[in-house]
């Protein structure tokens, strides 16, 4: 981990209980709970110069449900030339997250994308509409249980895998 | 079959002001088929006479599900999708992608020649992208001839791309571990010719536009973007640098050996449309400097990593070596596995920070890939900066933030 980042991670861990971090290829992934995300971002922006929310996205770990999603906030500090990634595990049934538009205005469109692509409900969002897909789309395309174009034929080698995804196809 | 939902106006009321509901202001659709929106972008405008009160961008017309499609392909095959992302910056997209893959699998022995070639081609691409921007910008402001000149010069760059990769636009020339194959012998002469011609051409454009009173009157003081607002909205690239923020990933987080080249990052503090124009014009000259230095230093040697687990062996080896044959077979049938982890890697594209969030699941296909495209966030700031301007100025402002719809909708 970058020396300049160590005190920042430590402070976040002290301020928010249950925050822990992982490292991979010199990147720091800091895990916080959904209810802590707004405060975490506010602290990082105001006290540690993380001015830029570079990316806001999610990843789906279906069929795992607890947590099913990780929502990812990639922060950049221009003044200190640092990066840190905040990851928020979100549950699979009724996924919800408070809005962070108050902290970073860029989150407005990015959170609409989350809503559109992953079906994660953003509480308190000023404009909760789909952004890329048409308004009448069914489902959320980037979820792992959303098929890509066609149905996969069931053979012996992938029977179990497909069976797991489609329990209704049993009989 | 989905039931048709009854659409009520309540859902959209918050987007416009009170006055729109009484009919005092007018709602007008600009696009999706409008020459000044640079693609299929729809802007819903609320107008008070000719003054913009509200601007609501509606995107997604060009959404092709690139992120989802990439999840279903192996790491090598997913690369072709990145070309289709921002079609003005294909080399840059390839670079962002291969760098993310290299970081994820830990492939760090990319030869210096490949690095230098990557820099030369990416900078050429930056010039080509800015040329299209400059042409379209002129066209939007009724400077028709600039458009034709710009496309003439862009053709020289596309010829160089065809020379190295066989394709003018969808290049896929960079590969994980290096580049596809070495450049042909004509490459150096072609680039040198371009370097000889182009500085004069930039001066020509400046003569046509920079001090032209009609042009200056349309741009100075229009669409002021404040530094703090820009950062709040995640604006990056020349648009951010025109607002006085010194942030260029090539300087602050050098990749591909950018640290060895001597170049400046053009900064302006005015933050208006004219400043954004000047920053990009200066970037032409800086890119030329980088290309010249990289070409002078271009080392000889291999252009692909020797790590056979990720990079296919050359054809000549396959006939004589059993291992080479196995590696070739494994790489082209199964692909290479990547660890169950994630990386974020970003490069400076002509429009700003082009980031790739790449997550592997232990197999040969990515679990998740997110493309952090600069145009998406740059467009999000548009409603903030157009309020109170004329519709004609909106066209100039939109052109000055240089969006590509393929980049926004992905």
Q: What's the pLDDT tens digit per position in B230-258?
A: 999 989 999 999 998 888 899 888 988 88
Contact B236 A52 (CB under 8 A): yes
Across the range B282-290, mean pLDDT stands at: 91
Q: Does residue B65 sit at the A interface (CB-CB below 8 Å)?
A: yes
CB contact under 8 A, A55 and B14: no
Residue A2 has pLDDT above 80, yes or no: no
pLDDT over threshold 90, residue B131: yes
Residues 6 or more apart in contact with residue A69 via CB below 8 angstroms: A58, A59, A60, A61, A89, A90, A92, A95, A118, A120
Token pair 């922006």: residue: A45
CATH superfamily, region B66-377: Cytochrome-c3 Hydrogenase, chain B (1.10.645.10)
Q: Say whether pLDDT at B158 is over 80.
A: yes
pLDDT at B149 over 80: yes
Give the residue from chain B lying closest to A145, CA to CA.
Answer: B68
* Model pLDDT, residue A71: 92
End-to-end CA distance of chain A: 53
Least confident of A75-89, B35-49, B150-164: B35-49
Instruction: For chain B, give every domain's residue range.
Output: 66-377
A60 touches chain B (CB under 8 A): yes
Beta strands of B49-121 (E only): which ranges? 51-58
Predicted local confidence at residue B193, as pLDDT:
92
Top mean pLDDT of A139-143, A153-157, B93-97, B329-333 is at B93-97
Q: Which residues of B touch A135 (CB under 8 A)?
A: 5, 7
Q: Say whether A24 and B233 touch across the interface (CB within 8 A).
A: no
Cα-to-chain-centroid distance, residue B253:
18
- CB contact set of B211 (below 8 Å; sequence gap of 6+): none
Query: Taking 70 as the threshold, does the pLDDT of residue B9 lie above it?
Result: yes
What are phi and psi for residue B163, nearest 5 degrees? -60, -45
Task: Identify the CA nearest to B310 among candidates B337, B349, B278, B350.
Answer: B337
Question: Are B367 and A59 in contact, with CB atoms under 8 Å apart?
Answer: yes
Q: In this prediction, what percent of chain B has a pLDDT beyond 70?
A: 98
pLDDT at B282 over 80: yes
Angle at A12 between CA B228 and CA B231, to 5 degrees: 10
- Report the 10 Å Cβ neighbour count for B48: 15
| pLDDT for B10 beyond 90 | no
| pLDDT on residue B144 | 85
User: In the prediction, which pLDDT does B5 show?
Assistant: 63
pLDDT for residue B98 = 93
Q: Which of B44-48, B140-144, B329-333 has the lowest mean pLDDT?
A: B140-144
**In this structure, are residues B84 and B386 in contact, taking their beta carbons and an 8 Å threshold?**
no
Fold of domain A6-169: Beta Polymerase; domain 2 (3.30.460)
Distance (Å, rounded) from C-alpha B29 to C-alpha B25?
Answer: 13
**Residue B176, CA distances (Å) to A108, B99, B269, B315, B357 in order:** 34, 7, 39, 17, 16
Q: What pLDDT does B4 receive?
A: 61
C-alpha A128/C-alpha A111 separation (Å) is 8
How does residue A22 score in pLDDT terms, banded at 50, 70 and 90?
A: confident
B377 vs A contacts (CB less than 8 Å): 106, 109-110
pLDDT by residue (tens digit) across B206-215?
888 888 888 8
- Nearest residue on chain A to B68, alpha-carbon basis: A142
Tell me which residues of chain A, numbers 67 to 96, contact chain B at a CB-CB cutoff of 8 Å.
Answer: 72, 74, 78, 81, 83, 85
Give the residue among A160, A133, A87 at the shortest CA–CA distance from B64: A133
**Alpha-carbon distances, residue B349 vs A80, B67, B91, B162 (angstroms):** 22, 19, 9, 21
Chain B residue numbers touching A24 (CB-CB < 8 A): 341-343
Q: pLDDT band at residue B347, thresholds of 50, 70 and 90?
A: very high
Q: Residue A168: its pLDDT value, please?
A: 57
Model confidence pLDDT, tens digit, residues A90-105 = 988 888 889 999 899 8
Work out whether strand B51-58 and strand B42-48 pair parallel, antiparallel, or are unpaired: antiparallel
ipTM of this model? 0.86
Chain A contact present for B341, CB below 8 A: yes
The structural domains of chain A, with segments of one domain joined by +, span: 6-169
Verify whether the Cβ–Cβ distance A108 to B380 is below 8 Å. yes
Q: Which of B31-45, B103-117, B250-264, B334-348 has the lowest mean pLDDT?
A: B31-45
Within the 108-147 window of chain A, which residues sit less than 8 Å (CB to CB) from chain B? 108-110, 126-127, 129-136, 138, 141-142, 146
The pLDDT score that the predictor gives to residue B128 is 92
From A95-109, B6-20, B153-167, B365-379, the region with the lowest mean pLDDT: B6-20
> Which pLDDT does position A166 carry in this prediction?
65
- Count CB neighbours of A160 within 10 A: 10
A24 touches chain B (CB under 8 A): yes
pLDDT at A167 over 70: no
């Amino acid at each position: 981990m970058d020396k300049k980042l160590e005190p920042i991670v430590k402070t976040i861990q002290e301020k928010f209980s249950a925050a822990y971090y992982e490292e991979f290829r010199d990147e720091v992934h800091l895990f916080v709970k959904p209810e802590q995300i707004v405060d975490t971002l506010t602290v990082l922006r105001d006290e540690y110069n993380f001015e830029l929310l570079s990316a806001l996205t999610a990843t789906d770990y279906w069929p795992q449900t607890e947590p099913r999603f990780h929502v990812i906030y990639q922060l950049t500090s221009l003044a200190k030339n640092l990066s840190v990634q905040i990851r928020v595990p979100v549950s699979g049934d009724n996924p919800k997250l408070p809005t962070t538009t108050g902290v970073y205005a860029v989150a407005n469109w990015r959170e609409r994308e989350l809503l559109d692509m992953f079906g994660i409900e953003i509480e308190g969002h000023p404009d909760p509409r789909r952004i890329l897909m048409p308004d009448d789309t069914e489902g959320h395309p980037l979820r792992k249980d959303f098929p890509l174009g066609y149905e996969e034929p069931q053979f012996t080698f992938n029977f179990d895998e497909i069976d797991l995804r489609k329990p209704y196809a049993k009989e | 079959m989905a039931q048709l939902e009854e659409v009520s106006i309540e859902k959209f009321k918050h987007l416009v002001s009170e006055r729109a509901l009484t009919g005092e202001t007018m709602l007008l659709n600009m696009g999706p088929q409008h020459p000044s929106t640079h693609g299929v972008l729809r802007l819903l405008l609320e107008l008070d006479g000719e003054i913009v009160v509200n601007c609501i961008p509606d995107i997604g017309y060009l959404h092709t599900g690139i992120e989802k499609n990439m999840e279903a392909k192996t790491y090598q095959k997913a690369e072709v999708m990145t070309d289709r992302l921002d079609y003005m910056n294909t080399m840059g997209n390839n670079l962002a992608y291969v760098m993310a893959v290299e970081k994820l699998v830990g492939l760090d022995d990319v030869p210096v020649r490949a690095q230098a070639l990557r820099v030369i081609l990416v900078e050429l691409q930056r010039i080509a992208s800015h040329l299209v921007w400059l042409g379209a910008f002129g066209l939007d402001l009724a400077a028709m001839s600039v458009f034709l000149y710009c496309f003439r010069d862009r053709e020289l760059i596309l010829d160089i791309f065809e020379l190295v990769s066989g394709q003018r636009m969808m290049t896929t020339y960079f590969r994980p571990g290096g580049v596809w194959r070495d450049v042909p012998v004509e490459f150096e002469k072609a680039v040198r010719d371009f370097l000889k011609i182009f500085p004069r051409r930039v001066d020509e454009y400046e003569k046509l536009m920079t001090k032209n009173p009609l042009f200056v009157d349309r741009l100075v003081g229009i669409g002021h973007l404040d530094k703090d607002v820009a950062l709040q909205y995640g604006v990056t690239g020349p648009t951010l640098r025109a607002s006085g923020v010194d942030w260029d990933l090539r300087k602050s987080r050098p990749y591909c050996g950018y640290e060895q080249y001597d170049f400046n990052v053009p900064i302006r503090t005015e933050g208006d449309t004219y400043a954004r124009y000047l920053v990009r014009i200066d970037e032409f000259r800086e890119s030329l400097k980088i290309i010249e230095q990289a070409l002078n230093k271009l080392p000889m040697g291999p252009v692909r990593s020797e790590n056979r687990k990720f990079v296919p062996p050359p054809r000549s080896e396959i006939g004589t070596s059993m291992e080479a044959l196995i590696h070739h077979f494994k790489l082209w049938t199964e692909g290479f596995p990547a660890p169950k982890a994630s990386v974020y890697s970003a490069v400076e594209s002509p429009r700003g920070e082009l980031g790739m969030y790449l997550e592997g699941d232990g197999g040969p296909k990515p679990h998740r890939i997110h493309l952090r495209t600069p145009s998406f966030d740059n467009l999000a700031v548009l409603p903030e900066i157009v309020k109170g301007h004329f519709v004609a100025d909106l066209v100039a402002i939109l052109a000055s933030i240089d969006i590509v719809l393929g980049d926004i909708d992905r």
